[in-house]
Structures are given as C-alpha cells and as structure tokens.
Amino acid sequence: MQVEETFLKGCYVVTPKVYWDERGYFFESFNKARFEEQTGLTVSFVQDNQSLSSKGVLRGLHFQEGDYTQAKLVRVAQGKVLDVCVDLRKESTTFGHYFSIVLDAIDHKQLYIPKGFAHGFLVLEDQTIFSYKCDNFYHKESERGIIYNDPDIGISWDLPTNELILSERDRKLPTFKAYLDGN
C-alpha cells in the first residue's frame, strides 16, 4: 500500500498493491498498521456504508459537526466517481479549498478524508458501488451540507448541470458563506 498526502493537510490518497492473474485480482483494501505507520495517524473505524448509484448522481457535499464529526476512508467497489472533499477547518491554511480525484474499480485508489471536511462525489458510470468507512457513527442532528455548485469553492464537476441527478435535500443545501454565517 502506498499512501500520499494531498495538498490538504491530513487528506491522503491510498493506492493498494493489486495482484492480477488469470483468475482476476486480489488486494488488501485496508491495513490499520500500515496506514497508521505511513500517516502517523491513529484510526478506529466504527461504521461502513455503501451506496449504489447511476451515472450523473451527485451526492454531497455532506459532513457532520460537533461530537459527531467523521473521518472517512472512501473507495469504489464497482464503477467510477469523481470524489471531492472541501477543507472546513477554519485554522487551516487550505480552509475553503477542495481536492478532487477520480476513484474507480480498476486501480482501487482510496481517499482518506480527515475530520473537518465536507465530502461529495459524482457518479461517472452506471451501477457504481461506493463504499466508505467512518470513524464515528451517523448522527442525523449533526448532519450538515454545502451546495455542490458553490461559487466561492468553485468545484469543477465536469458534467453539465442538466445531467446531474441530486436529491431534493442536496438541491437545497446552503452556500459556503451561508454555512459560515450560521444560516
């Protein structure tokens, strides 16, 4: 496993060693000891989540606040997504900046997103299975979000707006500025 920090401190791209042969492939999707050795972090995942989505589905940008903030290790088990995280840590030098990466079921890269980040993804292939580990439990009352097309963040989703499929909830998320102002 190779772990590389992105320009967002504490956010890592994890590339597993994939072993291919005539039967298919094998890879270790997570190894706590190796991950902690390469990052210097201590992780304890308590919940795994998975979604199945069609091409064009955009989920996010979501996060939890307070005692229920979550770090996540995200990956694609089938298909392909454009995965995006936004630094919401006010003390960070990259506050308000985002990182994006294509995650797919071919190279099996993963993204570790630390606490204090918003997260979202755009599905690029039909029947995509997205899977992630969380280090804290889901808590509905602590759930927050920021609108995917916020002009101050400026995420390049690379798909026309009319081709995006969003939940009603995600369409109504506040802007980054409104979130910061407490609205």
Whether the upstream peptide bond of residue 61 has omega within 30° of 0, thus cis, is yes
DSSP annotation string for the chain: -EEEE-SSTT-EEEEPPEEEETTEEEE-S--HHHHHHHH-------EEEEEEE-TTBEEEEEEE-GGG---EEEEEEESEEEEEEEE--TTSTTTT-EEEEEEETTT--EEEE-TTEEEEEEE-STTEEEEEEESS---GGGEEE--TT-TTT-----S-GGG-B--HHHHTPPPHHHHHTT-
Catalytic residues: 62, 132
